[in-house]
Amino acid sequence: MSALPHDAAWRARAAKVIPGGMYGHQATTLLPDGFPQFFARAEGARLWDVDGRMFIDMMCGYGPNLFGYGCQKIDAAFQKQLYAGDCMTGPSAIMVELAEALTAMVTHADWAMFCKNGTDATTMAATVARAHTGKRKLLVARGAYHGAAPWCTPRPAGVLPEDRAHVLSFVYNDVNDLARAFTEAGDDVAGLFAAPFKHDAFQDQADVDPAYARACRAACNATGALLIVDDVRAGFRLARDCSWARVGVQPDLSAWGKAIANGHPISALLGAERARDAAASIYVTGSFWFAAAPMAAALATLRMIRETDYLERLETLGGRLRDGIAAQAARHGVPVRQTGPVQMPQILLGDDPDFRKGFHWARVALDHGLYVHPWHNMFLNAAMTDADIDAALAATDAAFAAVAKNGASLPPVPQLRGLFA
Ligand code: PMP
């Protein structure tokens, strides 16, 4: 553990009152020593930890930060609605405007329902698919993350075999294995979950093979199952539409969250006409699902998505980062694999089967003011500037130099044991 006084003190207090000290993806026990557990402030592209260290943040809150932390335009809309009425006995009419805005932007969508987290939206998608088809099986690519409910959480503790009894897996981008899964499921497939691209932790990312996306659509057409694109992580970072619009495949349902309100808590399930009756038939709700201020923030975020060149800028910035890192890696003789879209990069070091080099690389980058992740994809945001990319590259240069120097003598990272294949 680093000796950073405030973070260490808060961790000690957390250990007494929060199970495990922290849970889920926020547990920094799976990050290199020295990574902060607690943050004090965030603005634009930057984060400050409780010890006052500032970082350029390549994680963007694990995705929600699309236009910068504290984006003035979005937060002004949020605040205005907050003071007008946020938690009320029923929704604000903004809910209708938000549904209109999303269905106008997302080609396949004719209706929208709102919830809080990505897991709410993916779980609701599964329920709609089962209500629509009267069938049971959900087909999910092996290793794909769709949330933390019993049917999909990656850890087995507390989960019954029954919770997963009707979840079948197959290999992403593998048309033959997809066909095998459909055969195995018999005439009982309710829904097929599709990640927009392969963005699994601990491994290289892979863009979607358009032939595979078309095969998913065809198999659902043939069986009556609903095709569900889980755009919770990638939504609006690849396209101003559903991410599979890029390959010309329209799902029946799509799940959204994270970036749609630039960090304000709201998620959504969007659907095509054919699934409308099923969506109307299920009982889903939540005390906070109708809060008006996050809906106002989402409306403002969608306006910026439509009216700014944020996406093109993310691609330009991401391209600069990728090229810069490739040049540094070559110069330092440290092989690197950079995969996935440049605005959602996965950066893994070569010849690093147990991530010890990646841990060292991330730790040295952190010490130089750049918060990077050693095994999860990262995110760019539109508040980043060319100067931020330069600063990020200065940090990664130091990190590559450190790996080149120390790579042969690094200790293993026991905390990751058993978590990757
Ligand atoms: N689907 C995908 C692809 C995700 O990346 C995530 C969150 N990382 C979820 C679903 C679940 O979202 P949430 O954590 O908001 O429940």
Phi-psi region of 52 (alpha: psi -120 to 50; beta: other; left: phi over 0): left
* Whether pLDDT at 83 is above 80: yes
pLDDT band of 60, cuts 50, 70, 90? very high
Partners of residue 115 on adjacent β-strands: 267
What gap in Å lies between CA 253 and CA 268, rounded to an integer? 10
Q: How many angstroms separate the Cα of 301 from the Cα of each of 14, 46, 201, 392? A: 34, 19, 27, 26
Residue 163 contacts residue 147 (beta carbons within 8 Å)? no
pLDDT, position 4: 81
pLDDT, position 417: 86
Question: If you write DSSP's letter for every residue of 318-378 in order, what string do you get?
Answer: HHHHHHHHHHHHHHHT--EEEES-TTS-EEEESS-TTSHHHHHHHHHHHHTTEE--SSS--
pLDDT mean across residues, the chain? 97
Query: How far away, in angstroms, is 206 Cα from ligand 1 center?
Result: 18
Q: Which residues contact 397 (CB under 8 A, 6 or more apart)?
A: 328, 332
pLDDT band of 419, cuts 50, 70, 90? confident
Q: How many angstroms separate the Cα of 411 from the Cα of each of 73, 188, 402? A: 46, 49, 14
Percent of the chain with pLDDT over 70: 99
* Whether pLDDT at 388 is above 90: yes
Q: Residues 199-215: what's their mean pLDDT? A: 98
Of all protein residues, the one whose alpha carbon is nearest to atom 12 of ligand 1 is 118
Residue with tokens 């699309």: 66
Look up residue 157 and give its two tokens: 């503790």
* Whether pLDDT at 221 is above 60: yes
Write out pLDDT tens, residues 279-331: 999 999 999 999 999 999 999 999 999 999 999 999 999 999 999 999 999 99
Query: How far away, in angstroms, is 86 Cα from ligand 1 center?
Result: 24
Question: What residue ranges line ligand 1, CB within 6 angstroms?
Answer: 62, 117-119, 122, 145-147, 230, 232-233, 257
Using the 8-state DSSP alphabet, how is residue 209 labeled? P
pLDDT, position 1: 46
Atom from ligand 1 closest to the CA of residue 24: 14
Write out pLDDT tens, residues 326-372: 999 999 999 999 999 999 999 999 999 999 999 999 999 999 999 99
Residue 281: phi, psi to the nearest 5?
A: -90, -20
pLDDT, position 421: 67
* Whether pLDDT at 79 is above 70: yes
pLDDT, position 3: 62
Beta strand residue intervals within 70-127, DSSP E? 111-115
Query: How far away, in angstroms, is 258 Cα from ligand 1 center?
Result: 8
Q: Which residues contact 280 (CB under 8 A, 6 or more apart)?
A: none
- Does the predicted model carry a pTM greater than 0.95? yes
Which of 232, 253, 264, 376 should be mutated for ligand 1, with most atoms under 8 A from CB? 232
